[in-house]
């Protein structure tokens, strides 16, 4: 491992050629796909994980079982609420790239845990940026901040681009707005290479089961296998721009390979409702869903006349984001990035994976 003394005599080019990445949130959906991508590209990957009494590394288990077996992956215990540990880890690892994916990322939960969400998602980003400066790496490290389409909230225009005004509608969105602007502020104030990736919804079989897309595909698989009767959802008419997480982590990496730091929207440019996601998911198991009723009394009925979907107002958000549709033209042009997986392919992949997982009793994610 390179020592701080050796760093003093390195040029910025030599420093970057070491290809050492540090990922917060490495155990999550995006972190696991990003770790795979970076290892494939020859990086030494380090991840920050929170202490837990149970194993929480299921998504990266295939990458990391023992440091002796895969020296390309190292994990460090830490937390975005602990400045001291962040400084210690960064000074020890001396990363060339930092990807800040760690967050309390559930929008509905952010209303129940607003203070914690602000501490991790907003101030946590500030702590990480300050840790980079404290370690004397402000002009050497390239920093990626995971921003979100939830910044747009009550949208000012359709579609949303890098210049669309923000109007967040949740504590999560508000916390992420602080993180977005503090990243830009440090870029401008301290000449740091710091980027925001404004990513629209991106899913995969590794998505947590509390998120609506994975909740749907897991329930559809369980219903198909006779292990569940009905799926309960909130707003069926919410519209989102859904892509595959594997495509989006490539966009993150591309942002840090540019000559100058900038902010980019990653999106598919097409929009679908939660209702459509439900229909496509059931279709992947050979079932057709028809809808009857309205509002909270609306139900989804299968070919045999059995009610498989119901609305539960408990899942409504206090302030709803009705639609999100991204305009990825800037990323297409400057990064050469385009999504590869279509909406239909995404849904089918998730349902197939959950059919296997539910049948095996393995639904860890």
- 150 noted as active-site residue: yes
The pLDDT value recorded for residue 217 is 98
User: What angle is formed at CA 108 by the lines to CA 290 and CA 83, rounded to 5 degrees?
Assistant: 145
**For domain 212-240+272-321+343-360, which CATH number applies: 3.20.20.70, 3.40.1350.10, 3.30.70.980, 3.90.25.10?**
3.90.25.10
What backbone torsions phi and psi does residue 18 show, to the nearest 5 degrees?
-70, -25
Query: Is residue 358's pLDDT more than 90?
Result: yes
List the catalytic residue out of 172, 186, 193, 248: 172
294's tokens: 């309205």
Region at 304 (left for phi over 0; alpha for psi -120 to 50; beta for the rest): alpha
> What Rg do the C-alpha atoms of the chain give, in angstroms?
21
pLDDT score, position 72: 86
* Cα–Cα distance measured from residue 335 to residue 260, given in angstroms and rounded to the nearest whole number: 12
Contact indicator for 273, 194 with CB cutoff of 8 Å: no
114 backbone dihedrals φ, ψ, rounded to 5°: -65, -40
Every domain of the chain and the residues it spans = 4-203+242-266, 212-240+272-321+343-360
Average pLDDT value over all residues in the chain? 95
Condensed to tens digits (0 to 9), the pLDDT of residues 100-109 reads 999 999 999 9
To the query of whether residue 298 is one of the catalytic residues in this protein, the response is: no
* pLDDT over 70 at 365, yes or no: no
Q: Which of 97, 150, 250, 279 is catalytic?
A: 150
| Helical ranges in 9-167 per DSSP H | 12-16, 29-40, 83-93, 107-112, 114-117, 124-134
Which numeric CATH code is attached to 4-203+242-266? 3.40.50.720
Q: Does residue 148 carry a catalytic annotation?
A: yes
Q: What is the pTM of this model?
A: 0.94
pLDDT-based confidence at residue 255 (cuts at 50, 70, 90): very high
As a whole number of Å, the end-to-end CA separation of the chain is 33
Q: Are 207 and 245 in contact (CB under 8 A)?
A: yes
CB neighbour class for 11 (10 Å; exposed up to 12, middle 13-18, buried from 19): exposed
Of the listed 24, 96, 117, 148, which one is catalytic? 148
Pairing, β 44-49 against β 239-240:
unpaired
């Amino acid at each position: 491992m390179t020592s701080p003394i050796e760093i003093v005599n390195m040029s910025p080019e030599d420093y970057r050629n070491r290809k050492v990445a540090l990922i917060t949130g490495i155990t999550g959906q995006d972190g696991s796909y990003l770790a795979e991508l970076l290892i494939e590209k020859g990086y030494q990957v380090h991840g920050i994980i929170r202490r837990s009494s149970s194993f929480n590394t299921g998504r990266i288990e295939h990458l990391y079982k023992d440091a002796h077996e895969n020296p390309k992956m190292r994990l460090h215990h830490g937390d975005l609420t602990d400045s001291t540990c962040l400084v210690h880890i960064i000074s020890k690892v001396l990363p060339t790239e930092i990807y800040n994916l760690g967050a309390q990322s559930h929008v509905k939960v952010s209303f129940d845990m607003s203070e914690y969400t602000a501490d991790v998602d907003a101030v946590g980003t500030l702590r990480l940026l300050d840790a980079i400066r404290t370690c004397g790496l402000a002009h050497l490290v390239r920093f990626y901040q995971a921003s979100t389409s939830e910044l747009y909230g009550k949208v000012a225009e359709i579609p949303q681009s890098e210049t669309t005004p923000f109007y967040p509608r949740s504590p999560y969105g508000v916390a992420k707005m602080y993180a977005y602007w503090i990243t830009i502020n440090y870029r401008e104030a301290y000449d740091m290479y710091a980027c925001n990736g404004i990513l629209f919804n991106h899913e995969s079989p590794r998505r947590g089961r509390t998120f609506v897309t994975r909740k749907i595909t897991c329930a559809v698989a369980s219903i198909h296998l006779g292990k569940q009767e009905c799926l309960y959802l909130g707003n069926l008419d919410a519209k989102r721009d859904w892509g595959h997480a594997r495509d989006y982590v490539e966009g993150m990496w591309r942002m840090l390979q540019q000559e100058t730091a900038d902010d980019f929207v990653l999106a598919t440019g097409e929009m679908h409702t939660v209702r459509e996601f439900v229909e496509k998911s059931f279709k992947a198991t050979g079932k057709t869903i028809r809808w009857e009723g309205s509002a909270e009394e609306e139900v989804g009925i299968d070919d045999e006349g059995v009610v498989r979907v119901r609305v539960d107002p408990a899942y409504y958000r206090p302030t709803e984001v009705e639609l999100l549709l991204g305009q990825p033209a800037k990323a297409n042009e400057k990064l050469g990035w385009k999504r590869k997986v279509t909406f239909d392919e995404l849904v089918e992949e998730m349902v197939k994976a959950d059919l296997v997982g539910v049948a095996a009793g393995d639904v860890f994610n």
